[in-house]
Amino acid sequence: MSMAEQAALLLDRLQRRRPLVHCITNYVTANDCANILLAIGASPIMADDPEETEEIAAAASALVLNMGTPSRRKLEAMIRAGRRANEKGIPVILDPVGAGASRLRREMAESLIRKVRVDILRGNVSEVSFAAGLASREKGVDVSEADRGIDRTEAALAAARRLGCTVAVTGEVDVVTDGRRTARIRGGSSMMARVTGTGCMTSALAGAFAGAGAERGDAFPAAVAALASMGIAGETAFEKAGHLGCGSFHIALLDAVGGLNEKSIRERAEIEEG
């Protein structure tokens, strides 16, 4: 079965099952992540107090840990949720936002990688390079100029080997690998880099697809399906609203994700295997 066909079937399963996706995320893009999950057909819950994250994670189909606005308290909330998810076989997605940008973020990324078994790591090339242990010169949450030259495939493979999980590096062309299989996903629009949170939304969608899977261990096709969905939606949004500007494009992106179905994935996904 082709990767596009697999992604189409996963979307169909997601829309029938409506997986509950627990997000411990940042305050910049939390609302967009909740809305994109609703748009694709999943059910979001944002919960980040250490007092409740174990309980919420235990009831969810997937857990998304996003380091965008970190704190020691949030780290504790993430470790509690992550350990519970691991015990219950619930897939965990890590978005190491700005992982190399400060001491707190570096410690947080290292601590999460050490204490929680991650199924999908999703980030831009700077973030994934840092998580892979490669030199990264991150200054903020966007790809740094110094990191633009790093090869996305090499960064993804290095991180996949270090973490033993599926890694998705986004950018103009997205790369997904589990160290054994590799896929490249085209599509999207350069406008996506001009709206904050499209990466966070992609990670949230990876949670929805991983949570829709029949069983744990389906992380690679879930990550591919999430990136293909964002790619198609980004193109549609650009056609509809690219000429209007970033604000309209942002809203059109949510609309486009809401319009995705099995058929659009099968017909429009641009996935290259190997």
Ligand X SMILES: Nc1ncnc2c1ncn2[C@@H]1O[C@H](COP(=O)(O)OP(=O)(O)OP(=O)(O)O)[C@@H](O)[C@H]1O
Structure-token match 């590096």, residue found:
169
Quickly count: other Cβ atoms within 10 Å of residue 87's Cβ.
Answer: 11
Question: Furthest-apart CA pair in the chain: how many Å?
Answer: 48
Please pick, from the candidates 198, 206, 222, 269, the single residue that binds ligand X as defined by CB under 6 A: 198
Q: Which does 69 bind (CB under 5 to 8 A by kind): ligand TZE, ligand X, Mg ion, none?
A: ligand TZE
Residue 3 marked as a ligand binder: no
What SS3 state is found at 142?
A: coil
User: Which of ligand TZE, ligand X, Mg ion, none does residue 55 bind (CB under 5 to 8 Å by kind)?
Assistant: none
Nearest by Cα to 91 from 260, 223, 2? 223
Number of H-type helices and E-type strands within the chain = 11, 9
- The encoded tokens of residue 26 equal 């940042």
Q: Which of 124, 136, 236, 264 binds ligand X (CB under 6 A)?
A: 124
Residue 170 annotated in ligand binding = yes
Taking the C-alpha atoms of residue 215 and residue 211, their distance in angstroms, rounded to an integer, is 9
Count other Cβ atoms within 10 Å, centred on residue 269: 25
- 69/111 with CB nearer ligand TZE: 69
Token digits of residue 220: 């690679």
* 97 makes contact with Mg ion (CB under 5 A): yes
- With CB under 6 A as the rule, give the number of residues binding ligand X: 24
Interaction between residue 153 and ligand X (CB under 6 A):
no
* Residues at the contact surface with ligand X, assessed by CB under 6 A: 97, 123-124, 141-142, 170-172, 174, 188-190, 192-193, 196-200, 202, 227, 230-231, 234
* Residues at the contact surface with Mg ion, assessed by CB under 5 A: 97, 199
* Residues at the contact surface with ligand TZE, assessed by CB under 6 A: 26, 28-29, 68-69, 97, 141, 196-197, 199-200
